[in-house]
A and B are shown apart, each in its own frame.
Chain A
């Protein structure tokens, strides 16, 4: 593009902005938020009560947290050409582990309510995270060392995982009575939900790893060409294993948030269809399912889009069940626009446009 005038330069800058990979996801998010504003004039209002901020936006942030965690863990997996469809089951397992270990009873001692957990909370949390990590390592081993297709390898845990979660809870919905545990999913820190800080911490950690170590470069290289990456000396297997392990760990963390938020663990329904939401969030954020270049911020935006979408369907009075249909349509539209066929068409269009000048 050849700019001769100032307007041309501005147009070019605008076009470059429009071509930025995060432009479309952000646009979609903003459009959704504005749509909500149209239905609900108080949508953007945030009020401070007792030092806590409340409002629709805060609510969306808070509720998007578990999905954001799972999707952030999924992003590097998808960047290495993989996928982890077991995250929903891992969420259920981790939630079940935490719930069973904490359980908790309320005693009234001298008229004061006190709470006791079955095991110390820190042990329970570490155990739940450890179980998530273990699940991730299992998936990673099947993919990196046994050499199974990622979808198949993680499908095994997806099938068995719900059974394991129910085994842990003995088929019951385990209720948690230990008050301090609820801080994780429902507590506030400096006026904002605690979960938001967790997401920020995980994002920050990943961001640092990607930008200040060679991990981002290596993951991208493996995703684009695994064989050539190995020939260049990258330890592809180890990195793949770590990526799946991290995905399991973040799913475990999400399981903690969810069980803390709903104060119970349901082996059957905790994290149900979450793998689909997570994949969708990653795809919405502009990371291709074919592997290679990826965007963490994009994934975060993707998770927010999905949560806002859910919020929207609730608030404009569409039955919540329609949510699934809307998501499905989003999946189809995003995939088709990301497909090589459509990309080629766009490129050809652009070439003829530029060639014609």
Chain B
């Protein structure tokens, strides 16, 4: 389930890493919910229902992947829902009203999304602004732009577009849409970025300790701008797939998607304080949101607003859990910070931490590479 890098493959000890706990809980929760649905509702346990989770949430996965990188770097991007909406709007307008080709429009909107992300990144990095206020502004701007373009919803009837959107890939007698393929490619690239590229590791480093990352000579400024660029790009790609899904452009599309993406990220085990996070976890976070919706649909008696409440409750539980884990580890850390401050005129002393070095080593060595 985790990206297979050797740091994780060989070490049994990692399984008991407290920070992996949220991810394991997420996985268990997903299985539990899917299992409950399978028992409770006729026709729930099928490959197609499972695949539908991907079909109905492909765009969310793409957006959430971008969000995950931002959160790992210690930031937040609240503009993604607006970027998705404005992308559907621009795509629909250009294709439907100006009859431009899909192959011209798509690269154009992707470029615009990336550029917009970069703009936000520059404001955050070079003007030292808080990410949440900048991206809130970004949300205003993108939503407003939608309505400046058109207040109405624009339905796409372009044959190339609709045929692509309706194309289905068959799997074992079931099917998935092109969106799913795009989302899975994004997912794979994201794993490579996060775990096998310097760029990704620098993002983790910045989230762990930005000052240290800077003192280590890492390209902090460039990376931070690029993270928001990446998120803008992912949001635009999410918008493109959302257009495929809805076959329309509308300013009220994807309302609250920034919250869904953030919830999926957090439920997937990414720490909101930055530095720790898993792309795979985000996938499961998205799946959980999907399962909640599917359960409510299958149930039929529950109303749609229960989705919001359930997501809020899950978000709350995971946030509190994160906070408790964090408090647990900083409780240990505070003592050590106290010891970092130098003795001035006294001879050096062995410290309690150093004294505990022995047992630690004997504990760890069996897991060594």
Q: Which residues of A contact B (CB under 8 A)?
A: 83, 142, 146-149, 151-153, 155-164, 166-167, 170-171, 267, 273, 276, 279, 283, 289, 319, 321-329, 331-332, 335-336, 339-342
CB of B141 within 8 A of CB of A325, answer yes
CB of B323 within 8 A of CB of A148, answer yes
Q: Smallest CB-CB separation from B259: which chain A residue?
A: A159
Q: Is B145 an interface residue (CB 8 A)?
A: yes
In the assembled complex, 26 residue pairs joining A and B whose CB atoms fall closer than 8 Å, in A order, are: A83-B132, A142-B319, A148-B319, A149-B273, A151-B76, A152-B319, A155-B315, A156-B319, A158-B259, A159-B308, A160-B311, A162-B305, A162-B308, A167-B303, A171-B303, A283-B133, A319-B151, A321-B146, A321-B148, A321-B151, A324-B144, A324-B147, A328-B141, A335-B123, A336-B123, A339-B129
The one of A155, A158, A335 that contacts B137, using a Cβ cutoff of 8 Å: A335
Residues of B within 8 A of A341 (CB): 126-128
CB of B305 within 8 A of CB of A163, answer yes
The one of A148, A151, A324, A332 that contacts B320, using a Cβ cutoff of 8 Å: A148
Also in contact, A160 and B127, with CB within 8 A (given A155-B315, A276-B140) = no
Q: Is B218 an interface residue (CB 8 A)?
A: no
Residues of B within 8 A of A152 (CB): 272, 319
Residues of A within 8 A of B148 (CB): 319, 321-322, 325
Residues of A within 8 A of B311 (CB): 159-160
Also in contact, A340 and B144, with CB within 8 A (given A163-B306, A331-B133, A331-B137) = no
Q: What CA separation (Å) do A291 and B48 show in the bound complex?
A: 51
Residues of A within 8 A of B312 (CB): 156-157, 159-161, 163
Q: Is B134 an interface residue (CB 8 A)?
A: yes
CB of A332 within 8 A of CB of B147, answer no
Residues of A within 8 A of B66 (CB): none
- Which residues of B, 119-141, contact A by the 8 Å Cβ criterion? 123, 126-130, 132-134, 136-141
Interface footprint category on B: 35 or more
CB of A324 within 8 A of CB of B143, answer yes
Q: Is B170 an interface residue (CB 8 A)?
A: no
CB of A328 within 8 A of CB of B133, answer no
Residues of A within 8 A of B76 (CB): 151
Residues of B within 8 A of A336 (CB): 123, 127, 129
CB of A171 within 8 A of CB of B304, answer yes
Interface centre among A267, A276, A328 (most CB of B within 10 A): A328
Q: What CA separation (Å) do A290 and B319 show in the bound complex?
A: 23
Q: Smallest CB-CB separation from B132: which chain A residue?
A: A151
The one of B128, B146, B273, B313 that contacts A340, using a Cβ cutoff of 8 Å: B128
Q: Is B309 an interface residue (CB 8 A)?
A: yes
Residues of B within 8 A of A157 (CB): 312
Q: What CA separation (Å) do A153 and B132 show in the bound complex?
A: 14
Extra contacts, 17 of them, besides A161-B312, A323-B144 (Cβ < 8 A), are A142-B320, A148-B320, A149-B273, A156-B315, A159-B259, A159-B263, A160-B312, A276-B139, A289-B133, A319-B147, A321-B151, A321-B251, A324-B147, A325-B145, A331-B140, A335-B127, A341-B127
